[in-house]
Amino acid sequence: MFAYEFMCTAFVAAFLAALVCGPVGWFLVLRGQSFASHALSHVGFAGAAAALLWGEPAFLGFGLSAVLSGMGMGVASDRFVGRDVMIGLVLSLAMGTGALCLHFLTHSAGAATALLFGDILGIAPSSLYWLGALAIGCVMGLAVMSRPLLFASLQPEVAEAKGVNLRLLDVLFLALVGIASAMCSQITGVLLVFTLMVAPAAASLRLGFGPMQGMAAAFALALFEAWGGLCLSWLTDCPASFWIALLGSIVFAAANGIAHLRGR
């Protein structure tokens, strides 16, 4: 398996995505913003489809649209009472826009399919440099804002009274979520970004770990799911995204069962 360059590239890409998705997803679930990651992945899909239509790299379009949309959601977070309604409308509009772009994208059907369902085995080795730079930047950015972000997530009223800028934190954090979604989409595709971003983090929180241990556990579980999905895909010739989704469900179910037993 490791004798093939495309498999080695896939394993490295999966590691980089898990490195970002684990800690970012942990905060995402803690803050109750899981639906935002789902929406950003669909907005990114529309941007990627538009980029392909204009002859630009899909990853560039996905990243830019997801980051800008995340920042927009952060700015609008305290201006709209029905935030979930707003996100749902944006999600629907993004999918419609993506479908329109795909309608005119007759020359690259394979790229469109990869956007939706992922193509981790098709990642070019040169893309690892960009993925690595983004991963390092995301981890460093999250490390800088982790303490005020944790404070604002657990006690927002007290944090605001202490002078923490909640809106700025929300904007910066959702921008990180946009980058993480773009990286994750390379592996699972737009339709399953939710799996690698949320399932490991939700399992980690369900097990009751503290912040540092929880983020580390979320990273470890995301890595297990991504690498396990690759290995099972190699053995069974089924898509890696299917195995990643299945492993994510199994891991969360196991964590939920353990937490239930502890509760007794």
∠ Cα 90 92 97 (to 5°): 90
- Output the pLDDT for position 208: 85
In this prediction, residue 170 has a pLDDT band, given cuts at 50, 70 and 90, of confident
Provide the token pair at 141: 């950015």
Q: Which of 41-55, 84-98, 205-219 has the lowest mean pLDDT?
A: 84-98
CA-CA distance, 198 to 209, in Å (whole number)?
16
What's domain 5-262's superfamily in CATH?
ABC transporter involved in vitamin B12 uptake, BtuC (1.10.3470.10)
Over residues 189-204, mean pLDDT: 82
The candidate with the shortest Cα–Cα distance to 89, out of 67, 112, 69, is: 69
The one-letter amino acid at 133: A
Q: Which residues of 73-90 are buried (b: 16+ CB within 10 A; e: fewer)?
A: bbebbeeeeebeebbeeb
CA-CA distance, 179 to 62, in Å (whole number)?
9
Mean of pLDDT over the chain: 81
- The domain spans of the chain are 5-262
Report the SS3 class of residue 84. Answer: helix
* Distance in Å from the first CA to the final CA of the chain: 44
The pTM score is 0.82
Report the SS3 class of residue 2. Answer: coil
The candidate with the shortest Cα–Cα distance to 94, out of 58, 56, 55, 45, is: 45
In this prediction, residue 221 has a pLDDT band, given cuts at 50, 70 and 90, of very high
Residue 35 has pLDDT above 50, yes or no: yes
CA-CA distance, 46 to 199, in Å (whole number)?
24
Q: Tell me if 37 sits within 8 A of 28, measured CB to CB.
A: yes
Q: Which residue has the higher pLDDT, 55 or 191?
A: 55
Q: Which of 133-147, 157-171, 182-196, 203-217 has the lowest mean pLDDT?
A: 182-196
Q: What are phi and psi of 166, to 5 degrees?
A: -65, -40
3-state SS, 137-167, equals HHHHHHHHHHHHHHHHHHCHHHHHHCCCCHH
Provide the token pair at 253: 């179910």
In this prediction, residue 81 has a pLDDT band, given cuts at 50, 70 and 90, of very low
The candidate with the shortest Cα–Cα distance to 52, out of 100, 103, 112, is: 112
Crossing angle for the helix pair 127-154 and 166-188, to the nearest 10 degrees: 140
**pLDDT (tens digit, 9 = 90+) per residue, 234-247?**
999 888 888 888 99
- Output the pLDDT for position 254: 92
CA-CA distance, 75 to 90, in Å (whole number)?
15
- Output the pLDDT for position 264: 44
Over residues 249-259, mean pLDDT: 90
Over residues 174-193, mean pLDDT: 77
∠ Cα 187 83 64 (to 5°): 40
